[in-house]
Structures are given as C-alpha cells and as structure tokens.
Structure 1
Amino acid sequence: MSSLKLAVCGILVISASCNSVNFVNTQTDALRQAKTLHACWEPVNFENPAAGYKLSEPIYEYCSIMFNPIHESEAFVNGVDLESDNYEKFENHFAEGTGNYAVLSICSQEAFSFQGPTKKAQTSLRCLCKRSGCNIPKPLNDFLKFNQHPINLE
C-alpha cells in the first residue's frame, strides 16, 4: 500500500478573543492533537447518508474519509475503530511530525479485486487524519484546503 503524506508548515491563523490574541499555526495544532482522542464527522443515519452529518464524541484516534471514485463530490466519513485494521504504518507517519512539520492527513489509494485477478479491480481513496473534525464531508480538494488550517470546534 502506498501512501501520500500531506504536510503543511508555517500557516498562521490569528484568532481574537476579548482582549487577547492567540497565535497558533497548523503544525502546532496538529502536534497538540496527535496524542488525544478526536471527534469525527459521521452520518446522522448510516442507512441514509443524505440525512446529513454530526460530530461524534471525542472517542476516536483517527477520523476517516473515503471519496466516491465515480462521483467525486461524494464522500463517506466516520471515526476509525482501531480493531478494524492494522494502523501501525499510519501511526509511524503521524509520529514523524517534529520540529518544522507535522503530518496532517495520510491518503492511500486502495484496490480491491472482489471477483478475482482477471476482473477489473475497484479502487478507492481513503484519508486518515488525527485532529477533531478533520474528516469534514466535502469533495477531495475542499477536504485538503480545510485541513491546511487549525480546526476550532468550540
């Protein structure tokens, strides 16, 4: 499985609150959240994704988003149960974030051959991220733009 690391450094976001100003860049935000549990976007109704989305409680180590390969504006989001797969290699990439950079998302293209090696395989693009609300259910380009900035869910 190949993975694509997406890292962003040096983006400054200024947020003012009453008489104080806080300076937090994306790298600092990602490193702060790297070892915490996260709230992830999930469908309100898993049987009917068109019903909308809600944020879960902060119970997940990763949030996930998969993009429909046919309808690029359609995304499937959920929190990740660590028992569902081996995430050791993903964790190694996220742990690399030190000094001047942090890994924000890891996206992998996966191929599944459900009907054997002589039939056309199905492909998917799945991204994992480790910040609360990072798996916003948007098309790929919007997801990538959104994840370039600190995420404030308060």
Structure 2
Amino acid sequence: MAPSSADLILVAYDGSENAQRAIRYAGHFLSAGRALVVTAWEPLARQAARISGLSGVMQPGWVPDIQQEDAALTDAKAVNAEGVRLAEEAGLQADGRCVETETTVWAAIVDAADELDAAIIVTGTRGATGVRALLHSSVADQVLKHCHRPVLIVPPNEER
C-alpha cells in the first residue's frame, strides 16, 4: 500500500554511501514515519545510445530482447530493495518504487514527487566543490533547483 501524500517522504536512493546516510537522517529527523524509496533507472538501450552519441561514433542499432527484463531495471530493483530495508531499519514505514528516466535522474525524482504529492524529498549528495562541481552538478542540486517542495539534502560524511 502506498503512503498517503499528506505524510509522504520521498527518498531518492541510488545505493551510494551518501544515499544510505540520507536514509538514516530521514529516519532520525523526520517524524512522518512513512517513506517511498525511489530509484531512478535508465534502460540499457537508451544508455548505449546516449554514450555512443557522446563519443561521436555511429553505433549499429541495438534492439533489446523484449522478453527479458532490462538488466538496468533488474539492478535498480535490487538497489531499491536495499533502500527500503535501510529505511525500515531507520524507523520508517517504507515502500519502494523504480522510476524510468525519460530525460534525467533529477527530473524522474521531481516527477515522482509531483505525481505522489510528496511532502518532502530526501537525497544525499556527493558534496563536490570547485571545478568538479562546476563541470558536473549533482542530482541533489538539480532537484533543489527544479522542485517546488521542501528538499532535505544530506551532505557526505567527512570521515572518508
């Protein structure tokens, strides 16, 4: 059963150490107690097309086997199940959902929050600074810039 939107915490989860930390903070600081752990994924065919386009080399068309589940979705389901388990360990009543990216990961997260009318979005961040941050802004930064609801961004642990 999906949580009601009035008390829904949407947790963006990609399996990283920073995402795990964000879940622990959500369980500790947010009292709603209900969470939907969302893992964004991109089909392998789209990944291959995007990467070949970036390389500037034409690649032959690849048609995935539609009778088998996309390997990227299989991986996303495993990552999402881990996030749900961590959310429950953090004291949240959690459900999980994998959302396919149509354009970007941040857009998939914002769209899911809008669809579910989430009260807040929780996400971790890499904490990139300097030139690295200028060249590649984080998903968390883009969620914050494009979302019209509260966002809790949990920075990385300093003890790495």
TM-score, length basis structure 1: 0.25
Higher percent of residues as strand = 1
Higher percent of residues as helix = 2
